[in-house]
Each structure stands twice: as C-alpha cells, then as structure tokens.
C-alpha cells in the first residue's frame, strides 16, 4: 500500500484526505492519505522519518511550508515562492514543489479565464498571496499587489516582473482598472467582511476568493450580485490537490470525481 499525507499543525479539519482518497478510489489505487501533526521542533526528524518509512508524498501546510525548504530540493517555482506545499519522496533527495501557485492558475483555466496580459488586483501578500502572485505572473498576468502590512506587498512586488505594490486604501481605484480581483487574505473566513468593497465590483470583473469557509464569502456574494464571474476557494483547493496527485502518481487527476467529493463537504 502506498502512503501519502499532509503534514501541518493543526491539520484536524483538512479536506485533503477526502480529496485525494476519492482519486485513489477512481483509479483503484492501493493507497491511503493520512494527516500528521508533529510538534514544530520535530519537523526535520518528521521529514527524514517519512522518507525512511517509505511514505511516497506529503503535502505541507502551516506552519511548515517554509521550514521544509531546508530538507528537500525545491524546484525553481517553490524556490522563488520560498515555500513548499508538496514533497515527492520518489526522488533522492526528496523534491519540493508548490502546487498552490499552479493550482490557482488551473482554477482560472477551468473557468476559461485568460491570464496572459490580464490585469490583476491581488489583495494579500502572505503565504497564499505569494504563491498565487508567482503562479499568475508566470502565466503572464500583470499584478497590482496590496497588503495590510505594506512592506510585505512591496517585497513581493519587487520579486516579480510586471508587479507594483499599493496601499489597501487604493483598492477602489485599482479595482476599476483591473480585470481580475483576488482575495488571498483570511479576511472573510467565518465572518461577513471583505477588503474589496461591493461597490468596486462590476459585471466585467472576474473575482476569486481563496477563503472556502464559508464557500460563498461576502466578497463572492457581492461578485455574484454584480454579475461578475466568481471563483470560490474550493477551486484552488481542488487544483492544488489535483496537481499534487499528478506529481506523485504520474496519472491525470480525476477532476470531476475530486470536485464532487470536495463539494459534498464544503
Ligand atoms: P496564508 O499562508 O494563509 O496566506 P499568512 O501568511 O499569515 O497566511 O497571511 C495572511 C494574510 O491575510 C496576510 O496578507 C495578512 O496581512 P498582513 O501581512 O498585514 O498580516 C492578511 N490579513 C489577515 N487578517 C487581516 C485583516 N484583518 N485585515 C487585512 N489583512 C489581513
């Protein structure tokens, strides 16, 4: 039996087991997806232990995405983002990838949205923001980045071609000049808040939220009301998982099956 899993702290409410095991079932793979919650000081021994035990692959989440860079060989995208969310133990040394970045791009592709030369307002320069910024930039998008802590937005914009940094107060003006609006912050998670005011959104916008609890955030409710294309946080979750599955198994991810399994829980 092959063993895959998620390493993070906490990981109790993760939907990744459901997502991945639906794909194993589809292909009749003898595989399981487990969750592991090591103490922060044990991360190095946990990664080496996973390798020694023959675990095939691990997803990595908060707070370990940056720390595991030291114990794997990151690909160039993970290196630029400075974070790994997928480890492939079939390579020696284990290889680190970042499927949050490619997952976001695939979520847009799923909705037939062209990213080449698209103007994007990216709100948030934390872990998710960084990954999405690099993924979208690689796909040819032009980014305008805002973040509550302005220094973080500046640092991210400086590390990317075709990106500028702005203050949160500039959101209304920037939104009116951008085709795509993305919330990558935790604002809206379990609360009725949005950093992008409803009156900034028109029917010509494409609006994405990475928050998936609730699945229809205040931001997405405003987008739907305005007649914009809305892409909820489930799509990025789905495609980052799909991409990890493909890296580990070499098989094409059964998107419809994985999406159905995920949507039952969202
Ligand atoms: P993740 O890995 O989920 O992206 P993170 O790296 O902690 O988590 O980033 C959280 C993001 O949400 C950051 O952009 C954070 O802004 P700061 O860099 O200023 O901390 C943003 N964020 C969280 N709460 C916020 C709030 N109440 N208002 C504005 N931005 C907020």
Task: Give the per-residue pLDDT at 50.
Answer: 98
> pLDDT-derived band of residue 109, with 50, 70 and 90 as boundaries?
very high
Asked if pLDDT for residue 52 goes beyond 90, the answer is: yes
5 CA distance to ligand 1 middle (Å): 26
Which pTM was predicted?
0.96
Pairing of strands 180-183, 206-209: parallel
pLDDT in tens, 140-188: 999 999 999 999 999 999 999 989 999 999 999 999 999 999 999 999 9
Average pLDDT over residues 240-265: 98
C-alpha 19/C-alpha 156 separation (Å) is 31
- CA-closest residue to ligand 1 atom 14: 124
Average pLDDT along the chain: 97
DSSP, residue by residue, 56-93? -EEEE-TTSTTGGGGGSEE-HHHHHHT--SEEETTSSS
Backbone angles phi, psi at 84, to 5 degrees: -120, 130
Q: Where do the DSSP E strands lie in 141-260?
A: 142-146, 163-166, 180-183, 206-209, 229-231
* Percentage of the chain modeled with pLDDT above 70: 100
Q: CA-CA distances (angstroms) from residue 248 to 2, 35, 68, 80, 261?
A: 10, 17, 18, 22, 20
pLDDT at 123: 98
User: How far does residue 248's CA lie from ligand 1's centre (Å)?
Assistant: 30
Region 48-67: what's the mean pLDDT? 97
Instruction: Report the pLDDT value the prediction gives residue 121, as an integer from 0 to 100.
Output: 98
For the CA of 148, the nearest atom of ligand 1 = 19
Average pLDDT over residues 177-204: 97
Positions of E strands within the chain: 2-7, 31-36, 57-60, 73-74, 86-88, 95-97, 119-123, 142-146, 163-166, 180-183, 206-209, 229-231
Closest ligand 1 atom to Cα of 125: 14
How much is the pLDDT for 162?
Answer: 86
| Residue 65 designated active-site | yes
Query: Which whole number is the average pLDDT over 31-52?
Result: 97
């Amino acid at each position: 039996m092959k063993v895959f899993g998620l390493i993070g702290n906490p990981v109790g409410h993760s939907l990744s087991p459901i997502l991945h095991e639906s794909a194993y079932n589809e292909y009749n793979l003898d595989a399981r997806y487990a969750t592991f919650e090591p103490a922060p000081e044990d991360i190095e021994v946990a990664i080496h232990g996973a390798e020694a035990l023959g675990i095939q692959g691990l997803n990595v989440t908060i707070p370990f995405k940056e720390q595991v860079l030291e114990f794997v060989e990151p690909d160039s995208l993970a290196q630029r983002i400075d974070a790994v969310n997928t480890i492939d133990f079939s390579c020696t040394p284990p290889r680190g990838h970042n499927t949050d970045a490619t997952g976001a791009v695939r979520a847009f592709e799923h909705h037939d949205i062209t990213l080449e030369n698209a103007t994007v307002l990216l709100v948030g320069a934390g872990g998710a923001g960084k990954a999405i910024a690099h993924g979208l930039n690689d796909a040819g998008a032009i980014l305008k980045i805002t973040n509550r802590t302005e220094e973080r937005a500046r640092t991210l914009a400086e590390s990317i071609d075709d990106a500028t940094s702005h203050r949160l107060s500039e959101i209304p003006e920037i939104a009116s000049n951008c085709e795509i609006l993305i919330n990558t912050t935790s604002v809206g998670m379990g609360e009725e808040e949005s950093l992008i005011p409803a009156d900034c959104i028109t029917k010509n916008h494409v609006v994405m939220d990475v928050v998936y609890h609730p699945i229809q955030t205040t931001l997405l409710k405003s987008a739907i009301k305005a007649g914009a294309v809305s892409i909820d946080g489930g799509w990025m979750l789905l495609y980052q998982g799909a991409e990890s599955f493909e890296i580990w198994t070499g098989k094409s991810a059964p998107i419809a099956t994985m999406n159905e399994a995920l949507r039952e829980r969202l």
